[in-house]
Structure 1
Amino acid sequence: MAGRNPLHLFRASRAGLRTSQWAPMRQQFGRRRVQTVAETNVEPPKNESAFTKLWNSEVGPKTVHFWAPIMKWGLVLAGIADLARPAENLSLQQNGALVATGAIWTRWCFVIRPKNYFLATVNFFVFLVGTTQCTRIFLYNQSIKNSSLTDELKKAAKDEKEMVKGIVESPERAAEKAKAAA
């Protein structure tokens, strides 16, 4: 038994499928499903409601093509909420990434099949929000560069003056602040 080919049992079982009694099962499982042109060009009934058309469309709520843009609107809302933040607290790298992904994926939505205009819309708004924030950051950086050195020194001197004034008025409170800061 040790000298026999280990594939002997496998070959024997396969030989049983070649008999005529297994032919219907072989045909059923051996066939590949082929989609015909008639199946792909099925026209919807003429009197469908708008909701039914949306529900049964290629980019309707039954597909990921619908839910991905819904979730992505969170990026747009977060970007709009960041309009209230000061420009010095915004990240140029993060908003630059939003600009790039918004532009790339907006274009891609018109290339893929099915064309997803809903996803293109949300990506375009991601691009707009990122561009707005990048513009705010660039304008803030320009305003810092355009301020003169004397203005910066005056501002620093004023801050030092207020700190020294606080120490003179209440040395105990200043010492407590210094301990808390350390």
Structure 2
Amino acid sequence: MSSSRVGLRFFQNSRTAFQNLASPFRRPGLKARRFQSTEAGASTAPAQSFLQRSWNSPVGVKTVHFWAPVMKWVLVLAGLSDLTRPADKLSLTQNGALMATGAIWTRWCLIIKPKNVLLAAVNFFVGCVGATQVTRIFLHKRAVDGSSKEALKELSHEATDPAKAAVHRAEHKAEELVKRH
């Protein structure tokens, strides 16, 4: 053991008396277990079965960290069932959103604590299904129109046309209100 490590422990243990006075709501004995090795705790703890470990896990069966990914597999199944639909009936914006959220949330699930590998897996497959469908849509548009630029143009119109229509309706209603008063 290095001398700097001993000095660090001495410093941390010397602060214990002051911290206990400063915060009376801490659990007693919490600091006493601070420097136990994991081997010592593992040898004294009884062995747990797979079911007990998964039940007591921070991402176990009794938490939302387990059930949310299980329910999200429905999105993957729906995307897989859409593989049988013709590409011209698929929404480019919807599948683009699935692709993007799948990629973003896969990365996020591997950063958060506790890591949720089950949620990362389902998000990865949501992204894969979205990417597959977007590819199918672009290939179909290119086969029909002769270029993928038309598909991108349609995507921008599909995204902006509803917003423009809403603004136009709002302007029209505002003009009606002004005319009434």
* CA distance in structure 1 between the aligned counterparts of 2:98 and 2:26, rounded to whole angstroms: 42
| Per-residue deviation, residues 36-81 of structure 1 (Å, max 9, x unmatched) | 4649x87593521111111111100111100110111111011001
**TM-score for both structures, normalised by structure 1:** 0.58
Q: Which amino acid aligns with 2:112?
A: I
The 1:34–1:111 alpha-carbon spacing in structure 2 relative to 1, beyond 3 Å, is farther
Q: How many residues align?
A: 117
**TM-score for both structures, normalised by structure 2:** 0.58
- After TM superposition, the structure 1 = structure 2 runs for residues 56-135 of structure 1, keeping only pairs within 5 Å, are 56-135=56-135
* CA distance in structure 1 between the aligned counterparts of 2:51 and 2:133, rounded to whole angstroms: 37
The 1:146–1:47 alpha-carbon spacing in structure 2 relative to 1, beyond 3 Å, is same
Structure 2: gaps of 5 or more residues: 1-23, 148-181
Q: Which amino acid aligns with 1:95?
A: N
SS at structure 2 position matched to 1:95:
helix
SS at structure 2 position matched to 1:110:
helix
Q: Percent identity?
A: 58
Tell me which stretches of 4 or more aligned residues in structure 1 moved more than 3 Å.
31-39, 41-46
| Per-residue deviation, residues 7-36 of structure 1 (Å, max 9, x unmatched) | xxxxxxxxxxxxxxxxxxxxxxxx645594
Residue of structure 1 equivalent to 2:48: 48
| Per-residue deviation, residues 83-106 of structure 1 (Å, max 9, x unmatched) | 010000000000000011000000
- State which structure, 1 or 2, has the greater radius of gyration over its C-alpha atoms: 1
* CA distance in structure 2 between the aligned counterparts of 1:84 and 1:33, rounded to whole angstroms: 59
Q: Which amino acid aligns with 1:83?
A: L
Structure 1: gaps of 5 or more residues: 1-30, 148-182
